[in-house]
């Protein structure tokens, strides 16, 4: 998805009132249809709830003060989706989105409506209004859906390949290419390169739009000291034949971004990043709170 | 719908272990798709929850001890369905049903799965697996969906006509005609004749099956002392040109049922019921608890 704002970078927390026009690439396609007929968009909701200050700080996803009565009641039934963490209040978002999509309203419009309902002024745009599904080819089982891999199996199985079903014929949603073209800074957030940034770039036109702004594109490495801070990025990169280091990330992002921001823990690898074709900035990248996030955002903006 | 059991009549509470084989007609089609993609079947669920002893005694619908967190969260969004009383635990039933129907499983099968999950041994069968919607033609507005009329407008608008969209081409679900053919007693419960019993009879083959068992069919009048105990049956009957009395009910049911059970409050009208072509039984019909329900059930079974 491609949030766009003069004020904030959703992946971090830059809150300066008169900052530059920033477009950030920061999540998966998030158009997974998890339950039949129930449209769940975890990534879009995570960004929205975070910007609304409503995200659960403890979990990092879903709402603070959430209750789980529907999930508990679902356990009575032989539902194959009972593993999914569906909070009662979060469910209201899915019901509203499902209803609007059923009315024929595009996902990008509904996403704006949801953001508005939460008082979020940043423009949050899904990369496409078309249906795209991240499919994981896993050992012994073959292709399974991303949420099945990520939540149900807790990303504990070996992945042989990743495919974005439907991406070939999908079109960028309104505003996505304009946001990339008009941005003073394009940020590739420290999201998972394979399953968060990958699907964005798989939509025809998006990768070209990023490449054409390469000088203004700043990527933040999701790998710190040879591992991902969270989630399966490290394991996935290794399984798909990439080096799990800032150098591996630089080899992936060099065609897209002029600059890679790496953590101080990896300072010794800065020359290797430059050798891979990217300008390298070394700064603290681990965001424990708003202060670190703001400092990182300042570095990013100044870099571009 | 047509519950069928050797043990219990879901409309009442006959619990004799070796009672007769009873088939009861007792509710609307209950296949309303209320939210896009969310299959809500209020009547089926009311019967299931009642037989499971889980129904809210206070409300008469939904679950005892229900919470409403999703509904409250939905109020944030401009949802046109925020008027619908969707409990958190009840929602789990809708999600499970939606998911199974999405898998191509027939409604009658899913209904059995839901009943089994609640430990209900009575066979609860929706009258059809096809999509049928009760449409209300209301003054000033034209046709609206039944739930819109019943819940949102609290049945407070004048009705000019009722139509069961899709009924013409619907087929009875597996077991419905057999249950009617094999029953020792067929009960038309004191449900709304227009919008609860009407849609059952609108499915091709059902009315003929009931008529062919007329001698064994016992109806219980939903009208007591010139009014419905609950809901819009009285108003609806009047608006559609019927007399709001046990005599009006007898004129409606005479082609289907040999016997009409009326309340003691209407004892004086028994001759008029007989003149309308039905045998008339006078007994207390207002069920305040299991004891009255069991007594009424005994009268019904003995009548057939």
Distance of residue A119 Cα from the nearest chain B Cα, in angstroms: 10
Q: How do strand B133-138 and strand A217-220 relate by DSSP bridges? A: unpaired
Q: Which residues pair with A4 in a beta bridge?
A: A23, A123
Using 50, 70 and 90 to split pLDDT, how confident is the model at B81? Answer: low
pLDDT tens digits for range A196-240:
899 999 999 999 999 999 999 999 999 999 999 888 889 999 999
Q: Is B57 on the interface with A (CB under 8 A)?
A: no
Residue B143, min C-alpha distance to chain A (Å): 19
Tens digits of residue pLDDT in B2-11: 333 333 223 2
**Chain B neighbors of A76, CB-CB under 8 A:** 92, 117-118
A118 CA: distance to closest CA in chain B (Å):
8
Would you list the DSSP string of A165-203?
A: ETGGG--BPTTHHHHHHH-SEEEE-SS-IIIIIHHHHHS
What tens digit of pLDDT does each residue of A284-304 get? Answer: 998 877 788 888 888 988 888
Q: Inter-chain contact B70–A91, Cβ cutoff 8 Å?
A: yes
> Is any Cβ of chain B less than 8 angstroms from the Cβ of A116?
no
Q: 3-state class of B197 per DSSP? A: helix
Question: Is the CB of residue B64 less than 8 Å away from at least one CB of chain A?
Answer: no
d(CA B255, CA A79): 44
3-state SS, residue B75 = coil
Confidence at residue A99, expressed as pLDDT on a 0 to 100 scale: 87
The whole-angstrom separation of Cα A126 and Cα A28 is 9
Check residues A78 and B250 and name the one with the higher pLDDT. Answer: B250
pLDDT at A159: 95
A253 against B23, higher pLDDT? A253
Cα distance between residue A209 and residue A182, in whole Å? 11
The maximal CA–CA distance of chain A, rounded, in angstroms, is 57
Give A-chain residues touching B62 at CB under 8 angstroms.
Answer: none
Please provide the average confidence, as pLDDT, over all residues in chain A. Answer: 85
Residue A221 has what pLDDT?
Answer: 95
Per-residue CA distances from B55 to B33, B65, B96 (Å): 22, 9, 19
- pLDDT, tens digit, for every residue of A47-102? 889 889 898 888 878 899 999 999 999 999 987 666 677 899 999 999 999 889 88
- The span from the CA of B55 to the CA of B66, in Å, is 10
Q: Tell me the per-residue pLDDT of B168-226, one tens digit each, with 9 for 90 and over.
A: 999 999 989 999 999 999 999 888 899 989 999 999 999 999 999 999 999 999 999 99
Question: pLDDT at position B264, please?
Answer: 96
Cα separation, A200 vs A218, in Å, equals 16
Please say whether the dihedral angle defined by the alpha carbons of residues A194, A199, A203 and A208, taken in this order, is positive or negative.
Answer: negative
B81 vs B77, more confident? B77
User: Residue B136 has what pLDDT?
Assistant: 95
- Among B70, B72, B98, beta carbon nearest to A36: B98
Torsion of CA B263, B266, B270, B275, to 10 degrees: -120
Q: In this structure, are residues A172 and A202 in contact, taking their beta carbons and an 8 Å threshold?
A: no
Report CB contact under 8 Å: B89, A78. Answer: no
Residue B246 has pLDDT above 80, yes or no: yes
What are the residues whose beta carbons fall under 8 Å from the beta carbon of B104, sequence distance 6 or more?
none
What's the rounded mean pLDDT across residues A18-41? 58
Phi-psi region of A102 (alpha: psi -120 to 50; beta: other; left: phi over 0): alpha
Sign of the CA dihedral with B34 first, then B40, B46, and B47 last: positive
Report the distance separating Cα B304 and Cα B290, nearest Å. 21
pLDDT for position A29 = 36
pLDDT digits (tens, 9 = 90+) for B11-59: 222 233 345 677 777 764 333 344 555 777 777 888 889 889 898 888 8
Residue of A nearest to B93 (CA): A74
Distance from CA of B160 to the nearest CA of A (A): 28
Binary contact (A37, B102; C-beta < 8 A): yes
- Interface with chain A: mutation pick from B68, B77, B83, B110, highest number of A CBs within 10 Å: B77
Residue of A nearest to B104 (CA): A36
CB atoms within 10 A of CB A119: 11
**Residue A147 C-alpha from the chain's centroid:** 14
CB B214 within 8 A of CB B258: yes
pLDDT tens sequence across B95-111: 999 889 888 999 999 99
- Among candidates B70, B76, B103 on the partner chain, residue whose Cβ is nearest the Cβ of A88: B70
From the CB of residue A61, how many other CB atoms can be counted at a distance below 10 Å? Answer: 18
Say how far apart CA A90 and CA A41 lie, in whole Å. 11
Residue B34: the pLDDT is 43
The contacts of residue A292 (CB under 8 Å, 6+ apart) are A284, A286
Whether B77 and A113 lie within 8 Å, measured CB to CB: yes
B88 and A102 in contact by Cβ < 8 A? no
**Helices (H), ranges, A80-166:** 88-102, 107-117, 146-147
Q: Which residue of A has its CA nearest to B66?
A: A69
Contact between A35 and B93 using a beta-carbon 8 Å cutoff: no
Rg (CA), chain A: 19
The secondary element (H helix, E strand) that includes residue B187 is strand B185-188
Q: What are phi and psi of A157, to 5 degrees?
A: -115, 155
Nearest CA in chain B to A112: B77
A261-275 pLDDT, tens digit each: 999 999 999 999 999
Interface test with B, best of A77, A87, A97, A118 (most B CBs within 10 A): A77
User: Residue written as tokens 């272990």?
Assistant: B17
- Per-residue DSSP letter, A152: I
Q: What are the distances in angstroms from CA A272 to CA A238, A248, A267, A268, B54?
A: 18, 10, 10, 8, 66
Return the residue of A nearest to B77 by Cα.
A117
pLDDT of residue A27: 61
- pLDDT higher than threshold 90 for residue A142: yes
Complex ipTM above 0.85? no
Binning pLDDT at 50, 70 and 90, where does residue B153 land?
A: confident
Looking at residue B11, its pLDDT comes to 28
B222: tokens are 């939903």
Q: Do A92 and B76 touch (CB under 8 A)?
A: yes
Q: Indicate the DSSP class of residue B293.
A: H
Over 90: is that where the pLDDT of A170 sits? yes
pLDDT mean over A2-25:
43
Q: Which of residues 241-260 of B touch A (CB under 8 A)?
A: none
- Between chain A and chain B, the number of residue pairs with CB atoms below 8 A apart is 117
In whole angstroms, what is the distance from residue A50 CA to residue B13 CA?
A: 52
Provide the pLDDT for residue A28: 41
Q: What is the rounded distance in angstroms from the CA atom of residue B250 to the CA atom of residue B262?
A: 10
Q: What is the C-alpha separation between B104 and B86, in angstroms, rounded?
A: 24
Per-residue pLDDT averaged across B289-301, rounded?
85
Contacts of B37 in chain A (CB under 8 A): 36-39, 98-99, 102
Looking at residue A215, what is its pLDDT?
Answer: 95
- Tokens 């989706």 correspond to A81
Distance from C-alpha of A72 to C-alpha of A82, rounded to nearest angstrom = 9
Phi then psi for residue A82, to 5 deg, are: -70, -10
For B288-302, what is the mean pLDDT?
A: 85
Residue B299 pLDDT greater than 70, yes or no: yes
């Amino acid at each position: 998805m491609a949030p766009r704002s003069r004020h904030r970078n959703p992946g971090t927390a830059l809150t300066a009132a008169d900052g530059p026009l920033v477009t950030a690439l920061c999540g998966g396609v998030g158009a997974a249809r998890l339950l039949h007929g129930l449209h769940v968009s975890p990534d879009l909701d995570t960004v929205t709830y975070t910007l609304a200050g409503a995200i659960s700080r403890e979990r990092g996803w879903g709402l603070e003060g959430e209750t789980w009565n529907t999930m508990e009641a679902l356990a009575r039934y032989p539902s194959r989706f009972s593993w999914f963490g569906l909070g009662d209040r979060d469910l209201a978002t899915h019901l509203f989105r499902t209803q609007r999509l059923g009315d024929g309203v595009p996902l990008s419009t509904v996403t704006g409506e949801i953001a508005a309902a939460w008082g979020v002024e940043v423009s949050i745009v899904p990369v496409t209004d078309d249906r795209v599904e991240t499919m994981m080819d896993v050992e012994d089982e073959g292709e399974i859906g991303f949420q099945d891999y990520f939540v149900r199996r807790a990303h504990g199985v070996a992945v042989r390949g990743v495919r974005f079903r439907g991406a070939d014929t999908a079109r960028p949603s309104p505003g996505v290419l304009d946001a990339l073209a008009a941005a003073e800074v394009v940020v590739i957030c420290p999201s998972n390169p394979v399953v968060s940034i990958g699907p964005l770039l798989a939509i025809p036109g998006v990768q070209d739009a990023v490449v054409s702004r390469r000088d203004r594109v700043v990527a933040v490495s999701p790998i710190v000291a040879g591992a991902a801070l969270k989630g399966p990025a490290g394991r996935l990169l290794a399984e798909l034949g990439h080096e799990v280091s800032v150098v591996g990330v630089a080899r992936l992002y060099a065609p897209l971004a002029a600059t890679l921001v790496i953590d101080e823990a990896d300072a010794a690898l800065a020359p290797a990043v430059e050798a891979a074709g990217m300008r390298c900035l070394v700064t603290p990248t681990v965001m424990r709170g708003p202060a670190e996030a703001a400092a990182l955002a300042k570095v990013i903006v100044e870099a571009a």
